[in-house]
Chains A and B, each alone.
Chain A
Amino acid sequence: KAGVTQTPRYLIKTRGQQVTLSCSPISGHRSVSWYQQTPGQGLQFLFEYFSETQRNKGNFPGRFSGRQFSNSRSEMNVSTLELGDSALYLCASRDFGGTGNSPLHFGNGTRLTVT
């Protein structure tokens, strides 16, 4: 099976712009989660989608949003970018969502740099 695929691998944006990141989960996985990884804060949970519905949400401002399509692919969007949004954004998929007791399988991330 192919793993979790994230595109693009690298992005450079300027403050105030918006950005959309894409994630294709492992075939058959219906849950997709997004994490922000920074050296200071580690892995911070953004949100989780299951069957096109947001099941869990972390403590991020409303500028961070996401969605999931009927084929389980997911996108996350960050509007009005700030310098502090520079990070590695990781997508992870698993068989089912919400219960928290199944393995997450991560992609290699999208490295976002905001200048």
Chain B
Amino acid sequence: GENVEQHPSTLSVQEGDSAVIKCTYSDSASNYFPWYKQELGKGPQLIIDIRSNVGEKKDQRIAVTLNKTAKHFSLHITETQPEDSAVYFCAASIRSGGSNYKLTFGKGTLLTVNP
């Protein structure tokens, strides 16, 4: 069925190190893959997204890669800082009947950056 798997569920890194979060999806027709960051007491905030016609996208310290053949995509954060500590969610557009799509989210990764 419609599914987005996200790993790891928790990730602890030292300040300055890189962090990688991976997701897989089930629907081969998925064509849009956003990543969200959620801080305590707030709603998820979009940090980067990628569409299926691109293999990689970068925005300063954040990058996302997409492998459509393997149906997986990853978030890479370089030079991590304590303010990067949050829960990160991946999502994929999944068919929900006819030509309608909905965003289906992974279960989230709690990233802790230790000073």
Query: A61 an interface residue at 8 Å Cβ cutoff?
Result: no
Distance, CA A92 to CA B34, complexed state (A): 14
Write the nearest CB–CB distance from A53 to chain B, whole angstroms.
Answer: 11
Query: A100 an interface residue at 8 Å Cβ cutoff?
Result: yes
Interface residues on A, range: 20 to 34
Known contacts: A42-B107, A42-B108. The answer to whether A104 contacts B94 by CB under 8 A is: no
The count of residues in chain B whose C-beta lies closer than 8 Å to any C-beta of chain A is: 27
The proximity string for B residues 88-115 relative to A, scoring 1 for CB distances below 8 Å and 0 otherwise, is 0100011011011111111110000000
Evaluate contact between B102 and A100: CB separation under 8 angstroms: yes
For window 47-70 of B, CB contacts with A under 8 Å fall at 49, 51
- Identify the A interface with B (CB < 8 A): 4, 33, 35, 42-43, 45, 48, 55-58, 90, 92, 98-109
